[in-house]
Amino acid sequence: MFDAAALISALGLLADRLTMALLVLGIVLGLVIGILTGLGPPIAIALALPFTFYMDTVPSMVLLLGSYSAAIYGGSISAIAVDIPGTGAAIATVQDGHKMFKAGRGGEALGFSLTGSIIGGLFSAVCLALIAPLLADLAVKFGPREYLAISVFGLIVVVRVAGQSLAKGLLVGALGIFLTTCGLDELNGTVIGIIPGEGAAVGAFFAYSEAKRRSKEPEKYGTGIPEGIVAPETANNATVGGALVPTLTLGMPGSPAAAVLPGALLIQGLTPRPKLFSEEPDLMYAIFIGLFIINILMMFIGLIAIRFAAQLIRVPTAVIVPTVLLLSFVGIYSVSNSFFNVGVLLGAGILGYVAQAGLFHRAALHRLRAWPDPRERAAPVADHRGRLGERVL
């Protein structure tokens, strides 16, 4: 139900100069982290979280949400400019974005990416404000079966965009899942590796697949066309609002990046629950409007970032390759201070080189490598409760 008093109160909270400064700071932080390969939204939010310990609720939330949204978009900048997606959600963007960049249309490609991201983010903010209270009741009814069914659908979408050969796509998908499930089941031990968010990535692949399927010239996808950038970028930023629905109403994060937000609310003395919308309407309105403002400001800050990113085409390959390799080795070693991880990185590099030779699709392998969590948890629980394999699939 619309609450005019709460809306006015939320606008007053957002009009504070400190709040707006933190909002801009969050966007800048998210862009930088998103551009850096292998970090992404979870790291951006985790870096911003300590600064919220002594803040009020609204300033802390806009700082975190600004980091979250901008990091998703930032991944597309490195994807287009250097053929290395900064986030998993930007993998689908690589296929057309980098080809446009190499063809001398880098500014155009980055512009389409920014435009798509802003449109998706604004649409997501509006939908969050309009339907989040209604979806809160529906989200309570989702169990392991439903999560597994949605996850399997996501796997099908990723495999579907792996190329013309369905058999090759399935084979690469099976290899990707195998690479992730090596080691102990996380129900009984520790899963090896960092699990990136799947919502934005699968949403981007689904949008890319649908745009290609409905296109009058599907054969042009993957050759460097604007539609291959706009579709996934609009979709991955549109998942931000959707991920906030279960996060705010149930305390169940809709993505790994959103997993930090319930903790931020708890620090402020608030518990995520369905009644949060009715008990804290001014906070909810502030989040809705704040997300809208974030996307508006991200458009202007993104234009500045594009000016610098477009200059990367002038940097010699002899400089880019050693720099990326150095950052990759340092990053993978710092995860657990283990040289074993460096060996894994070298093996993954060999796989990537083979994929680039055209033997299989890099994107499908990468995305399906990240299949578990919550898929790996949902599958045995769903099968135990209702024999999902027999009744649903």
Sketch the domain layout of the chain as residue ranges.
4-142+198-314
Sequence letter at residue 214:
R
Q: Is 362:352 a contact under the CB 8 Å cutoff?
A: yes
- Contacts by residues 19-25 (CB-CB < 8 Å, ≥ 24 positions apart): 19/58, 19/59, 19/62, 22/55, 22/59, 22/60, 22/62, 22/63, 22/66, 23/62, 23/63, 23/66, 23/290, 23/293, 23/294, 23/297, 24/66, 24/297, 24/301, 25/63, 25/66
**Residue 291 in contact with residue 12, Cβ under 8 Å?**
no
Enter the DSSP assignment of 378: H
pLDDT tens digits for range 341-360: 778 778 777 766 666 555 55
Which token pair is 174?
A: 């099976």
pLDDT higher at 197 or 338: 338
pLDDT digit string, tens, across residues 218-229: 778 777 888 888
Distance CA 77, CA 57 (A): 31
**pLDDT score at 51:** 82
Q: Which two tokens stand for residue 210?
A: 């649908």
pLDDT digits (tens, 9 = 90+) for 234-290: 887 877 777 777 777 766 666 666 667 777 777 777 777 767 777 777 888 888 888
The verdict on pTM exceeding 0.75 is no
Cα distances (angstroms) measured from residue 76 to each of 84, 106, 275: 9, 12, 36
* 74-111 pLDDT, tens digit each: 888 888 887 777 776 777 788 888 888 888 888 888 88
pLDDT (tens digit, 9 = 90+) per residue, 150-203? 566 656 655 555 555 556 555 655 555 555 554 433 332 222 222 333 456 666
